[in-house]
Amino acid sequence: MEITVEKIAMIRENYNPKNTSLNLDIDWSVEYMDTDQRDVRYDIVLRSNDHLNLNFKIGGLIRLGDLEEFVQQDCSQIVFHHACSILMDVISLTRQSN
C-alpha cells in the first residue's frame, strides 16, 4: 500500500502558544472516494479546540497493491497516524514564524 499526500491546509489563530509542551485533544473525520478502485482518494480533517484552535486538512491518495483490498478501519488508522505526525511537524515549523 502506498499513501501519498497531495494537499495540506491549516487554519490556526494568529497567536502562538507560549508553553513548551502541547497537548491536543483531536477530533477527526476521514472521507474516502472511489473505494471500489485500486486508487482511493481520501480527505482527513483534524480539529482541536482546547489549547490551540485549529483546523487541519490533508487530501491524498491510497494506492493499493495487486493483492490488497481496501479495509476502511485499517486505512483510517494509518491515515490518522500520518496526519497527526504531519500536523505536529507543521506546528513545530510554524511556532516561531509569523
Q: Residue 18 domain-assigned?
A: no
- On the question of pLDDT at 35 being above 60, the answer is yes
* % pLDDT > 90, the chain: 40
Domain residues for the domain of 85 are 2-12+25-94
Q: Residue 69 domain-assigned?
A: yes
- On the question of pLDDT at 20 being above 60, the answer is no
Amino acid type, 18:
K
Measured between alpha carbons, how far is 51 from 69 in angstroms, rounded to an integer? 39
To 10 degrees, the CA torsion angle through 4, 83, 80, 78?
40
Q: Beta strands of the chain (E only): which ranges?
A: 2-12, 27-33, 39-48, 54-63
Measured between alpha carbons, how far is 36 from 31 in angstroms, rounded to an integer? 14
Q: Longest Cα pair distance anywhere in the chain, in angstroms?
A: 48
Q: Total structural domains in the chain?
A: 1
Q: Residue 79 domain-assigned?
A: yes
Q: Residue 19 domain-assigned?
A: no
- Which tens digit of pLDDT belongs to each residue from 51-93? 667 788 999 999 998 888 899 999 999 999 999 999 888 877 7
